[in-house]
Structure formats: structure tokens, C-alpha cells
């Protein structure tokens, strides 16, 4: 993966958008990024194949905004999927840090400032995440997705589940390149796979104990977490973790059994169980 020379301590935000993304949500997401108290140095948006005129208009509006001095729109001729689009964008990121953001997420106004401040004060950190506020459209409730904050506890919990919010995460660019970016082997688990490979590579993790991102969970969010395809993908992923020494044999056996049961539940039951790993939070701050 050939990358541009680093510009130093700058932050490059990496986003993707594709056909079917809501243009209003895309505009809101970009507005939250451009309205940061401390804007990032660069924004790289990968357009994953053809998009509609409304999405295009949003991108043109923000490309000339000026509050982020380096905005790069990378257009792919055809849709290659999230993993391919992310990997296409990484070489264009010139900052020392790559910050992820999804096209339907909202950054809190001080997200970049707080993560930048922590990274500058803690140079040993390679991966910095944060908590987020989730609005469940099915139940109408708001939850706080939290995680451990220190490296040892994050690494320990990652053995059991993906505890980090990917769109709230910043990764040192050199570490991202060291592990060759994202892999497509494990459908819809590219972020979890990335974290495990970074842990195995010796990267140091931390998470800020504050909600810096607002996300929405709808029916589709629960539907894609189940079915035979997801079971096959997760089985391969857990097998990789075991062979790499990240899981013991007993941990592997337990996780595979629990995974098969959970993934084959109907999406309504998965949605009902989901709050068990969330904290009710009517007004997360």
C-alpha cells in the first residue's frame, strides 16, 4: 500500500459514501465535521462508485467550504464495497493520524479537539477511540456505547467482542500501513479484524470515556448481524484469532457456540438483547 508522505501530527478524516446513502444524513455528518472547534487538517472522501445528484451536490458544497484546507474526493469507477473503498482512501491520507467517520454519524463539536489533545499528550498511543451515543429507532431509546479506557482492558475485552466504536476511532497512519489496512476476508467485521491485528502487532490502545459521536441504529443494523453468511464470516474470523494466538482453545470453543446461537436469532430478538451491553442514557454528554 503506497501512501503519501506524512505531514506530521495532522489528522486526516477518512470517509466513504456510495449509492443509496442518504444525502441529508451525509450533509449533516459533514456539517458536524466542518463545524468542529478544532477542524482536522484533511478530509478524504472516497466515492464508492456512481452516486446520485443530491449526494454529489453535498460533496461539491463542502469541497469548497474552506474550513478544512485539504479536501480530497476520490471517485471510484465502480462500487468495490466498504473495505475496498477504505483501502483506496488510505494512501491519500497525509496526516500522522487517520480518523474514521461514517457518512451518517454526527461528531460532537469538540470531538477532534479532545482526541487531538489526548494524542499530543500521550505519544505512546497508536489507537484512540471514544464512547458514543446510540439512538435505537426500534425502541425509541438512547444508549451509551461505552468501552474500557486502558490498553490492557481493551485488549482483554476484544477477545470476546468488538467493544470499540469504529467511526469514533483514530489510528496512527504508520500502524495502519504496517498491517496493510483493512481486509475483506471477514464480511462486515473489517474493523474488529483490524483491531485484533493491531493488538497482535503491538499497537497501544486507549479510549476516551466521553461520548464524542452520535449514531442511529435501525432495523438494518440488527438484520446484518445475523444469518448464515455472518456465521460463516465470524467462524473464519474466530479461527484466525485462535491460530494467531489471540484466543485459547477454550475461548474459541465458547465463542463459536455462543456466536452460532446469537447470530441465528431473528433480528427482533437480537434487537431486544442488544441493550444488555448498553447503558440507558436519555441525554449522553
E-assigned strand segments in the chain: 11-18, 42-48, 70-76, 97-100, 106-107, 127-136, 141-145, 170-172, 205-217, 279-280
95 contacts 170 by C-beta, under 8 angstroms: no
Backbone angles phi, psi at 211, to 5 degrees: -75, 115
Exposed / middle / buried, residue 209 (Cβ in 10 Å: 0-12, 13-18, 19+): exposed
Entry field: residues in the chain: 285
pLDDT score for 267: 55
pLDDT score for 276: 53
Cell triple for residue 216? 442511529
pLDDT score for 187: 76
State whether the Cα torsion 101-103-107-112 is positive or negative: positive
Please state the domain extents for the chain: 11-217, 221-276
pLDDT score for 263: 66
Per-residue pLDDT tens listing for the chain (285 residues): 656 554 446 999 999 999 999 999 999 999 999 999 999 999 999 999 999 999 999 999 999 899 999 999 999 999 999 999 999 999 999 999 999 999 999 999 999 999 999 999 999 999 999 999 988 666 667 889 999 999 999 999 999 999 999 999 999 999 999 999 999 998 789 999 999 999 999 999 999 999 999 998 755 554 455 566 778 888 999 999 999 999 999 999 999 888 777 666 555 555 555 555 444 444 444
Other CB atoms within 10 Å distance of the CB of residue 277: 11
Given phi > 0 = left and psi -120 to 50 = alpha, else beta, which region is 8? left
User: What is the rounded CA–CA span in Å between residue 22 and residue 8?
Assistant: 34
Q: Is 277 helix (H, G, I), strand (E, B) or coil?
A: helix
Residues 6+ apart with CB under 8 A from 94: 4, 5, 6, 7, 10, 12, 42, 70
CATH of 11-217, one of 3.40.50.720, 3.90.550.10, 3.40.640.10, 3.40.50.300: 3.90.550.10
Cell triple for residue 238? 474466530
pLDDT score for 143: 85
Amino acid at each position: 500500500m503506497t501512501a503519501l508522505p506524512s505531514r506530521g501530527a495532522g489528522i486526516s478524516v477518512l470517509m466513504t459514501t456510495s449509492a443509496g446513502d442518504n444525502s441529508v444524513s451525509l450533509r449533516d455528518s459533514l456539517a458536524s465535521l466542518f463545524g468542529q472547534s478544532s477542524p482536522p487538517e484533511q478530509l478524504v472522501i472516497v466515492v464508492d462508485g456512481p452516486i446520485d445528484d443530491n449526494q454529489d451536490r453535498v460533496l461539491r458544497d463542502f469541497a469548497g467550504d474552506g474550513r478544512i484546507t485539504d479536501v480530497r474526493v476520490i471517485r471510484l469507477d465502480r462500487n468495490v464495497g466498504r473495505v475496498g473503498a477504505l483501502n483506496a482512501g488510505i494512501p491519500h491520507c497525509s496526516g500522522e493520524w487517520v480518523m474514521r467517520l461514517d457518512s451518517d454519524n454526527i461528531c460532537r463539536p469538540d470531538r477532534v479537539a479532545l482526541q487531538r489533545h489526548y494524542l499530543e499528550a500521550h505519544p505512546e498511543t497508536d489507537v484512540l477511540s471514544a464512547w458514543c451515543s446510540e439512538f435505537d429507532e426500534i425502541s425509541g431509546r438512547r444508549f451509551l456505547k461505552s468501552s474500557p479506557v486502558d490498553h490492557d482492558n481493551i485488549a482483554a475485552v476484544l477477545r470476546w467482542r468488538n467493544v470499540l466504536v469504529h467511526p469514533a476511532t483514530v489510528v496512527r497512519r504508520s500502524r495502519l500501513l504496517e498491517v496493510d489496512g483493512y481486509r475483506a476476508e471477514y464480511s462486515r467485521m473489517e474493523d474488529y479484524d483490524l483491531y485484533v491485528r493491531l493488538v497482535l502487532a503491538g499497537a497501544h490502545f486507549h479510549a476516551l470515556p466521553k461520548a464524542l459521536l452520535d449514531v442511529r441504529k435501525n432495523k438494518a443494523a440488527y438484520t446484518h448481524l445475523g444469518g448464515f453468511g455472518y456465521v460463516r464470516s465470524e467462524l473464519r474470523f474466530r479461527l484466525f484469532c485462535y491460530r494467531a494466538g489471540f484466543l485459547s482453545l477454550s475461548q474459541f470453543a465458547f465463542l463459536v457456540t455462543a456466536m452460532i446461537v446469537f447470530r441465528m436469532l431473528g433480528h427482533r430478538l437480537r434487537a431486544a438483547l442488544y441493550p444488555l451491553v448498553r447503558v440507558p442514557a436519555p441525554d449522553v454528554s
